């Protein structure tokens, strides 16, 4: 993935694997289910940098998502709709930008990118799941 360039730093890109697992044994008592997503950078000789001047970013990211029935909802599980539930999300990321980047630029990027990712992820989920039947 090629990331938006921030002057004066070199263009950044990332190469990572992603793993999703349902881990209901660790869910909160009020949750219906729990999914965990892990992303971690990797190096592969068969996947070179997109451009010679690019720098590869290191990253470790974890996200936990739980489906929770809203307080006061008394419907049986098979009758629940999307209006009866919400998603609790925990997101953490450790990113090594690779090379040199001014610390002031890093702070600006991180403050912008965390909320941007969560807004984009929320829009993606709503767009792709709103017409699907609720499955919990």
Residues whose CB falls within 8 Å of the CB of residue 59, separated by 6 or more in sequence, listed in order: 14, 16, 39, 40, 41, 93, 94, 95, 96
Q: Give this prediction's pTM.
A: 0.77
Distance CA 73, CA 134 (A): 15
How would you write the pLDDT of the chain (136 residues) with one tens digit per residue? 777 666 667 788 999 999 999 999 999 988 999 999 999 999 999 999 998 888 999 999 999 999 999 999 999 988 999 899 999 999 998 888 887 777 887 788 788 888 888 898 889 888 988 888 888 7
What distance in Å separates the CA atoms of residue 16 and residue 61, rounded to the nearest whole number?
Answer: 10
């Amino acid at each position: 993935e090629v990331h938006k360039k921030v002057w004066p730093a070199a263009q950044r890109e990332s190469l990572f694997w992603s793993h999703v697992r349902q881990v209901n044994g660790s869910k909160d008592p009020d949750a219906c289910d729990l999914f965990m997503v892990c992303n971690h950078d990797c190096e592969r000789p068969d996947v070179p940098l997109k451009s010679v001047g690019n720098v590869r970013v290191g990253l470790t990211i974890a996200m936990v998502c739980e489906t929770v029935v809203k307080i006061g909802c008394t419907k049986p599980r098979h009758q629940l709709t999307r209006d009866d539930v919400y998603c609790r999300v925990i997101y953490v990321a450790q990113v090594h930008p690779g090379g040199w980047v001014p610390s002031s630029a890093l702070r600006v990027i991180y403050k912008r990118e965390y909320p941007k990712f969560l807004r984009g992820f929320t829009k993606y989920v709503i767009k792709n799941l709103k017409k699907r039947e609720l499955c919990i």
